[in-house]
Structure 1
Amino acid sequence: MTTFAWVAVVVVAVVALAAVAYFVGQRQKRSSHLRERFGPEYERVVSERDNRREAEEELRAREERLKELDIRPLPPETRDSYAARWTEVQERFVDAPMFAVTEADQLVTSVMAERGYPTEDFEQRLSDLSVRHASTLDHYRTAHEISGRAARKEASTEELRQAMVHYRALFEELLQETTRGR
């Protein structure tokens, strides 16, 4: 082989290695972004899918879907009104814990709807919330699961109290969130 041929082979190999390194770096960068944005939800989705690429495609699709929605902050007077209603729900817990948990679920759903989140389907709510509220998503899942058991009269008062705590975590985050830089 001539010197020119060897140089060409080396150049092609270097370019190929650089391209591979670039694409691997980009993939790691995207994975890192998704891991940071979705927190524990990232690992949950990865564990539910056949492979990491499929899971990451789903998470990117969630981000794209959320961009299409008109998610907006609540005006201060609306936030204050919801906060007052939450206080009333919490006060009712003492006398009617099951009813209060149902009200808490409805209140969270109302705040979501007012903010612009679609609220018809629970799984879609989880998916939409995961983009901006991944850190409190497990709270919402747990509260919803307890609420379902409460409707069947299968939840203890302590579990109902826990549901209220879980609902409050998402409720407060939804109330305070603005649209800045998110």
Structure 2
Amino acid sequence: MSRRAVYTGSFDPITLGHLNIIQRSSRLVDELVVGVGINIEKQSLFTADERVTLIERVTADLPNVIVKQFNGLAVTFVRDCRARVIVRGVRSLSDIETEFTMTLANRKLDPDIETVFLMADEEFTHVSSSLIKQITSLAGDAELARFVPESIVSDLRAKLADDQLAVPEDSR
């Protein structure tokens, strides 16, 4: 029986912290499914298809990583993937509190699914997708590459430039 785990998130955009968790998780299991969540209530920078493409690009060197989209409950997605383990990355004590609550809810929804937490490496504890969105217009490419995979910096800049063009002139 193969060991399969699922790492879910919005990955909007994928950060070096996310990639670190993916790399480390992929060494622990035979197959790691990265689940790109679709939350229609949340305004995303990248579409779900774009996020899948970006993650596939930065994980191309990890042959046991598969990237899929999902909507709905993470535990349902994990079941659909025929896995029994959810991987979660935590950066801070506040992350742990949020993840603890979600783990308890997931356990009520499906007691056969276990959650495994990986602490972010120290160099990534401050990195978040919302931080990336805030600093992209102010940081140089080399600075951005300290937070996101270098291969997606141009995608990030292009997407934010497109969004700026879409904002009416009088609201800038």
Same structural fold, with TM-score higher than 0.5 when normalized by the shorter chain: no
Max Rg structure: 1
Instruction: Give TM-score, length-normalised by structure 2.
Output: 0.23
Instruction: Give TM-score, length-normalised by structure 1.
Output: 0.22
Q: Per residue, is there more strand in 1 or in 2?
A: 2
Q: Per residue, is there more helix in 1 or in 2?
A: 1
